[in-house]
Amino acid sequence: MHIRKLRLFDFKNYHEVNVVFSPYINCITGLNGSGKTNLIDAIHYLALTKSAFNTIEKENIRHGSQAFLIQSEWEIGGSAHQVVCSYQAGLPKTIRYDGKDYEKISEHIGRLPLVLVTPYDTDLIRGGSDGRRRFFDGILCQANESYLRDLIRYNHILRQRNALLKQSGGYAPDADLLKSYTDPLILLGRSIYEERRDFLESFLTEFRNYYELISENSEQVDIRYKSDGAEDLQSLFEQSLRKDIALERTTTGIHRDDFRFVMDGHAIRKYGSQGQQKSFVLALKLAQFAYLSEARETPPIILLDDIFDKLDRQRILQLMHILQGKGMGQVFITDAREERTRELLAETEFPLTFYKVENESIHEIK
């Protein structure tokens, strides 16, 4: 699976651009601010139906325009397929696959598996539990359609329950209406918890193997899953009802889960060096690649955005070596310094194609 052609209209800083990509390694170079990241964000849109960097849709429209259009041609299983993403301010976003709209946009997720690596990935360690949940949910949603459906339904019902609690203004809401939200949250919560728990068991093996390869050290790393789902959710909801009413939000449930990153028995966010944290996050991404490769029976597209400024030479070489050994598919690399990319990838076994981004356009260079 790979993307052959990409065409953008009024997307971010581009008025109109057309580009044909290599099925192997695509190196996108250009000055900072020229639009390198915007190109790979368009690919992220096509795969996951949203921007990786900006959740406000209208802010992804080129200044002065009212809509954007992303057109593409992909090779999947030896056949050509078209994927189109469009958005007009004030209207719903649309995703079309071979000319047909999805009944629900979420049905597209997982069709084009993708792994994104950015300089900000260490925020997974330093940030809050919501970022870690999104990371692991993102893997599961690309691999498992039923998990995605359950998660969407859970979050929808959670918003309804929270709205009821807020409307009640600190007083007990209608008991029957509250129960109509609480009961499905409990059922869905148990299912989501079990999926996350079972997933982590298989994910951990790959993750630990990759950390050992990257770090070349003997630290023992772990990911510890903390969830209300491990308890009796029915009892937890009953016990937290007064608190929920007082705070006007749902304080119990799998939406509060956390994945704790541990090294040698201690939180890596507190006791890990910068190098250890970078190795930890890179191992997470490589394990994501391996898990999706097996689940979708095709290597995910890999987007490496400006990582050469944050990773040392040794880790970069290890990353490329590992990916090549795991049946690497199509890769996109952005870097402001063309000569650095050429040097670091000089010994790769895969063909390299270089592109230059300048003046809101992109062209292949030798």
> Which residues define the annotated binding site?
30-37
Q: Decide: helix, strand or coil at residue 243.
A: helix
Tell me which residue has tokens 């809101």: 360
Q: Kindly report the CA angle at 62 between 58 and 63, in degrees rounded to 5?
A: 90
Distance of CA 200 to the CA centre of its chain: 17
How far is residue 228's CA from residue 186's CA, in Å, rounded to a whole number?
Answer: 10
Please name which of 95, 75, 73, 76 lies closest in space to residue 85, comparing C-alpha atoms.
95
> Are the beta carbons of 1 and 112 closer than 8 angstroms?
yes
What's the length of the chain? 366
Annotated binding site for ATP: 30-37
| Helix, strand, coil share of the chain (percent; to 5) | 45, 25, 30
Give the DSSP letter string of 321-344.
HHHHHTT---EEEEES-HHHHHHH
Return the residue matching tokens 């993102």. 138
Nearest-angstrom CA–CA distance, 211 and 220: 9
Host H or E run for residue 145: helix 145-167
99 dihedral zone (left: phi>0; alpha: psi -120 to 50; beta): left
Distance CA 62, CA 17 (A): 13
Angle between the N-to-C axes of helices 145-167 and 129-143, in degrees from 0 to 180, rounded to the nearest 10:
140
> CA angle 117-261-144, nearest 5°?
60
Q: Helix, strand, or coil here: 128?
A: coil
Decide: 228 and 189 in contact? Cβ < 8 Å: yes
